[in-house]
Amino acid sequence: MDNLSVEHLTGIKDLTRNDIELIFKTADSFKEVINRPIKKVPSLRDITIANLFFENSTRTRLSFELAEKRLSADVINFSASSSSVKKGETLIDTVNNILAMKVDMVVMRHPNPGAAKFLSERIGAKVVNAGDGTHEHPTQALLDAFSIRERLGSVEGKKVVIVGDILHSRVALSNIYCLQKLGAEVMVCGPTTLIPKYIHELGVKVEHNLRAALEWCDVANMLRIQLERQEIKYFPSLREYSMQFGLTKEILDSLSKEIIVMHPGPINRGVEITSDVADSKQSVILQQVENGVAIRMAVIYLLASKIDR
């Protein structure tokens, strides 16, 4: 019997290794549940969850919604494009209005870093961060590490390289925290302009040569170039980026060992990863998506167990 040490999931930074392991152990059980003929348990039938998406999302939002429904929670959805945010309402007002409808938990994606933490300090409901700007995306990091654990047996001692736009990536930051807490070594790889200046202070290695990075690692997590967050040009062209940092079957086959390829999605086929790599047996991209539902069920279940009656 155990509990999470946190009241909200705003970032991996706040979690202990025990928390992460508890989430994984719970997710193991939920993974079994979602492979049953009837993929649903009644645990959260008296809980209402609001999914607030102030930024576009397809897979994360579907994954959360599915996780909530498979736990039998009542779910309401909200997206910024169709809301009063456009009419000038503040975040707190929007959320308080939703909470007035007796919501127990809020899953939020927001373009501003720190939005989830800000909210968690001001409202009574539990908050789950589904991505806050360029800051953190905790459930993605958890499902990535869970997928590594599933494929390689454990995360401890493994070498993971995160390739691509580290500067704008919340997935990268959450992954670094999560993997390090579980005892893995982390390297980041990308063009100099897309690697934050002080990232080595987090204890990660920095490499600018993709082949060297891939020779070092057991797992390569290929990130998408987030053009929507880039206000200036960080590299001459996508074609040049792809030639230097795109993962192709030729490179993959020429490595001295077989590595695992991950991608948080959405994939830009032919940019950071070619189609034949994305669809190869070394790729765990679709397992990541499946594990995402189990991980989110575990997070929601464990946080919901702390809601006062």
Residue with tokens 């995306």: 137
Least separation in angstroms between residue 148's CB and other proteins is 21
Least separation in angstroms between residue 50's CB and other proteins is 18
Q: Is 17 in the site for other proteins (CB under 8 A)?
A: no
**Residue 44 or 267: which CB sits closer to other proteins?**
44
Catalytic residue set = 59-60, 87, 109, 137
**Residue 47 or 217: which CB sits closer to other proteins?**
47
The Cα 244–Cα 272 span in angstroms is: 9
Q: Is 38 in the site for other proteins (CB under 8 A)?
A: yes
Whether 242 contacts 272, CB under 8 Å: yes
Q: How many CB atoms lie within 10 A of CB 34?
A: 17
Q: With contacts defined by CB under 8 A, name the span among 43-51, 109-117, 207-215, 220-228 that binds other proteins.
A: 43-51
Q: Is 40 in the site for other proteins (CB under 8 A)?
A: yes
CA distances from 194 to 3, 42, 115, 221, 258 (A): 38, 45, 23, 15, 27
Q: Is 1 in the site for other proteins (CB under 8 A)?
A: yes
Per-residue contact flags (x/-) with other proteins for residues 56 to 95, judged by CB under 8 A: ---------------x------------------------
Instruction: Please select the residue that binds other proteins; options are 12, 22, 95, 182, rule is CB under 8 A.
Output: 22
The Cα 164–Cα 154 span in angstroms is: 24
Q: Is 301 in the site for other proteins (CB under 8 A)?
A: yes
CA distances from 228 to 14, 225, 265 (A): 28, 9, 15
Instruction: Please select the residue that binds other proteins; options are 7, 32, 240, 279, rule is CB under 8 A.
Output: 32
Least separation in angstroms between residue 33's CB and other proteins is 7
The Cα 303–Cα 128 span in angstroms is: 9
Least separation in angstroms between residue 32's CB and other proteins is 6
The Cα 213–Cα 152 span in angstroms is: 19
The Cα 219–Cα 132 span in angstroms is: 25
The Cα 226–Cα 164 span in angstroms is: 9
Site residues, other proteins (CB under 8 A): 1-3, 22, 25-26, 28-29, 32-33, 36-38, 40-44, 46, 71, 301-302, 304-305, 307, 309
